[in-house]
Amino acid sequence: MTTDHRETVAGGAPARVLGTRPVRLEDTAKVTGQALFGADVRLPNMLHGAVLRSPHAHARIISVDKSRALALPGVTAVVTGADLPGDGTSYQQQNILAQGRVLYFGHAVAAVAATSPHIAKEALQWIDVAYEPLPAVVDVAEAMRPDAPVLLGDLHTDEMGQETEGSTNVASHVQYRRGDPERGFREASVIVEREFRTETVHQGYIEPHNATALYDAGGQVTIWCSTQGAFGVRQQVADVLGIPIGKIRVIPLEIGGGFGGKNDVYLEPVAALLSQKSGGRPVKMVMGYDEVLAGTGPTSASVIRVKMGAAADGRITAATAWLAYAAGAFPGAPLWGATSTVFAPYRLDHLQIDGYDVVVNRPKTASYRAPGASNAVFAAETVAYELAERLGIDPLEFHRINAVQEGDRRADGPLYPRIGYREVLDSARRHPHLSAPLGGPNRGRGVAVGIWMGGGGQSSASASINADGMVSLVTGSVDLSGTRMTLAMQLAETLGIPVEDVRSATADTASIGYTDGSWGSRTAFSTGRAVHEVGRRLIAQLIERAAELWGISPAAVAFEDGHFSGGGRRAPFGALASEASEAGSPIMAGATSDGAGVGPASAAHIVDVEVDPETGKVQILRYTAIQDVGRAVHPAYLEGQIQGGVAQGIGWALHEGYVYDEAGRLLNTTLLDYRLPTCVDLPAIEPVLLEIGNPGHPFGVRGAGEMPIVPPPAAIANAIYRAAGVRMEVLPMSPARILEALWAASA
């Protein structure tokens, strides 16, 4: 992108580095194949691992006979869930290697290490597993029924959220309630209630999961892998293998996409276990894409009922939502993301939100970019759009009437800090896209809004000064989206130096303080806060050094505009840094962040579609995404984040979804069948960056990465309604479903 799509509405101080678009140092290496990813790891005497996966959606494992596999020349170890420590009740362990029963098609049952990947794969066939198939349930609504097959024996919440004696598939129920929704609905002029269903979708990162582990004879475990967070891998491997975190060192390589799906471990503990059982030879494991789709965590399928009522003046008088989210085989659906987001943009006196975490015979879900939000907002924003229409109010005006702002209380409790949501709505209403002619028949324009809270999380950063005055910055944050650069920019801004004078790297777990993974749109924000503090500490040290070198008191040394001055002297940062660090001890500073000060993001999306009445195919014609980013540290990366998030949202809206057969077997386990959007499906997506500073960050940064995926399904559904007159209640809004809706409407 060469156009700068920024609108500074209420930003911070003028900046010299923030807001520029330097090129990432690693980009060239990435596009020329020289960057090192996990699959590039090669160690001496390295073995290769492979995973045997369940062909059943639900079955009891009667027996596993490894003997024939172990007899295959080249095989060094075969492991199953029985090789993990503990009493077998840990969901995490069960998911990594099944214990007693398999709970989804693709569930890992055993793993092999061998001298070549081919032998390892061959050996899988020689592991004799006897299964007793059990009835499976893949649908979240069916799984909640009292007569549904039960996956786990230890869940006792019924479909109404009450404790029950018998075993169920409901892991938990959360409820937020405010005021008196029934009274609110009585005050409404118009009420809309609809039920929505969304399918399981996968993050679709390009790079499959991989891990190489070396479990040495001294009990030290080193793991090289593709992850969003090395410290998270360390903790999970420790938990699964029952060893202290101090014995584990995790070295994160470059990552080829994560989007939430690379926080959880799958191969890492298995590779370590195989290494241990193979006499300490390193073991490398790389998934095929079929394993990524069937065996790793996608996001939740869901059933959502939303009811909203509004008065004639457009004020929403009450809103209720019932959200049942499929957790996959083990509890952990993103209820917080769903319930905190579903009504986030609306100022509501009366609301009730019920969220259900439901286990089904699908892979255990993982985070996916604003986890839980896109489904919920698809439901709520479709209903809101319909409400506005029935009241004869422009949808953005309707949003303005109901818009939350600083000091309003969120459904989940906290008060909103300063957010830019009203500015986002204003910007959307002013945007030329809104009044541009549609230019043809069967076309429609939809809008949708969303607010995403984002995460804080702990971060550590450290920086040191080199002999040439350049600064080395290191953090524990894995770089998914250019954060090495955006963190370097924040340090350069703090120090008043060109960003080219900062080199930024991600450290392994042995080399930096604890840092949460790169999730929750938190890195530029929370790690950025630590980096800013590191910069302040470097400056403080250099003031001391300058005073020493110049023979004046530290109080007489000023730092301004990248220069130290005092006693008639003046030196730029780099020159003083170089001189000072060669004269005495090296200059180095560390700082950490607790993640406080999170600034929620908000967005409004405008989309034009054309619906082919013959085929039901939806073509996206134009897409505009307006977002409050707080402070655009690196506008090009933010534009890329928004374009990427919208692209994923379009895939979710129109193409993607897991397809199961009647026995619960996943049918679309390749990227030919699991239909990610391609460039022919996507328009040029225009991002608009608003800068309404987050007071919780020294430069005003808000998390930005997750927000863009939230409004697209809703915006597209609303556009389809405008183009074709059908209100879609199911994702993906595939051609077949749209045709069905068209036929039903014309019938």
Q: Do the Cβ atoms of 504 and 484 come closer than 8 Å?
A: yes
Cα separation, 565 vs 584, in Å, equals: 20
- To a second copy, the closest distance from the beta carbon of 513 in angstroms equals 3
Edge to edge, the sheet with strand 101-102 lists: 101-102, 59-65, 128-133
Q: Give the footprint of a second copy on this chain (CB under 8 A).
A: 25-29, 32-36, 40, 42-45, 214, 216-220, 235, 244-246, 249, 280-282, 458-460, 462, 464-468, 470, 472, 474, 501, 503, 505, 507-515, 530, 581, 584-595
- To a second copy, the closest distance from the beta carbon of 285 in angstroms equals 17
Q: How far is CA 679 from CA 11, 651, 713, 717, 738, in A?
A: 34, 11, 18, 20, 22
- Please, which residues have CB within 8 angstroms of residue 5's CB and are 6 or more apart in sequence? 635, 639, 686, 687, 688, 689
- To a second copy, the closest distance from the beta carbon of 276 in angstroms equals 11
- To a second copy, the closest distance from the beta carbon of 46 in angstroms equals 8
**Which phi and psi (to 5°) does residue 184 adopt?**
-60, -45
Terminal Cα-to-Cα distance of the chain (whole angstroms): 46
In terms of Cα–Cα distance, which of 355, 331, 465, 468 is closest to 412?
355
- To a second copy, the closest distance from the beta carbon of 118 in angstroms equals 18
Q: For a second copy, which is the closer residue by CB, 414 or 584?
A: 584
Question: DSSP letter at 264?
Answer: S
Cα separation, 664 vs 676, in Å, equals: 22
- To a second copy, the closest distance from the beta carbon of 559 in angstroms equals 20
- To a second copy, the closest distance from the beta carbon of 497 in angstroms equals 12
In terms of Cα–Cα distance, which of 272, 191, 175, 190 is closest to 225?
272
- Please, which residues have CB within 8 angstroms of residue 215's CB and are 6 or more apart in sequence? 221, 272, 273, 275, 276, 280
Q: For a second copy, which is the closer residue by CB, 243 or 308?
A: 243
- To a second copy, the closest distance from the beta carbon of 291 in angstroms equals 21
Q: For a second copy, which is the closer residue by CB, 285 or 609?
A: 285
Cα three-residue angle 187-192-193, rounded to 5 degrees: 115
- To a second copy, the closest distance from the beta carbon of 592 in angstroms equals 4
Q: For a second copy, which is the closer residue by CB, 81 or 282?
A: 282
Q: For a second copy, which is the closer residue by CB, 361 or 459?
A: 459
Q: The dihedral of CA 536, 537, 542, 547: what is its sign?
A: positive
- Please, which residues have CB within 8 angstroms of residue 555's CB and are 6 or more apart in sequence? none
Determine the 3-state secondary structure of 343 from DSSP. coil
Q: For a second copy, which is the closer residue by CB, 134 or 250?
A: 250
E strands, 648-704, are: 685-692
- To a second copy, the closest distance from the beta carbon of 243 in angstroms equals 11
Q: For a second copy, which is the closer residue by CB, 322 or 514?
A: 514
Q: For a second copy, which is the closer residue by CB, 221 or 618?
A: 221
Rounded (10°) angle between helices 373-391 and 395-402 = 110
Q: How far is CA 52 from CA 34, 96, 110, 241, 580, in A?
A: 32, 11, 5, 19, 59
- To a second copy, the closest distance from the beta carbon of 145 in angstroms equals 40
Q: For a second copy, which is the closer residue by CB, 502 or 692?
A: 502
In terms of Cα–Cα distance, which of 477, 561, 585, 555 is closest to 522?
477
HEC letters along 117-141: HHHHHHHHCCCEEEEEECCCCCCHH
Q: For a second copy, which is the closer residue by CB, 168 or 541?
A: 541
- To a second copy, the closest distance from the beta carbon of 198 in angstroms equals 35
In terms of Cα–Cα distance, which of 445, 421, 426 is closest to 346?
421
Q: How far is CA 388 from CA 25, 309, 431, in A?
A: 48, 10, 20
Please state whether the peptide bond connecting residue 732 to the residue before it is cis, i.e. omega within 30 degrees of 0.
yes
Q: For a second copy, which is the closer residue by CB, 249 or 277?
A: 249
Q: For a second copy, which is the closer residue by CB, 1 or 43?
A: 43
Q: For a second copy, which is the closer residue by CB, 299 or 462?
A: 462
**Which phi and psi (to 5°) does residue 312 adopt?**
-60, -30
Cα separation, 303 vs 139, in Å, equals: 9
Q: For a second copy, which is the closer residue by CB, 90 or 220?
A: 220
**Chain centroid offset of residue 694 CA:** 21
The residue assigned the tokens 């619960």 is: 664
Cα three-residue angle 514-528-707, rounded to 5 degrees: 100
- To a second copy, the closest distance from the beta carbon of 503 in angstroms equals 5
- To a second copy, the closest distance from the beta carbon of 182 in angstroms equals 41
Q: For a second copy, which is the closer residue by CB, 4 or 468?
A: 468
Q: For a second copy, which is the closer residue by CB, 37 or 205?
A: 37
- To a second copy, the closest distance from the beta carbon of 41 in angstroms equals 9
- To a second copy, the closest distance from the beta carbon of 23 in angstroms equals 8
Q: For a second copy, which is the closer residue by CB, 74 or 280?
A: 280
The residue assigned the tokens 């997750």 is: 706
- To a second copy, the closest distance from the beta carbon of 487 in angstroms equals 13
Task: Encode burial over 1-32: b for 16+ CB neighbours within 10 A, e otherwise.
Answer: eeeebbbbbebbeebebbbbebebebeeeeee
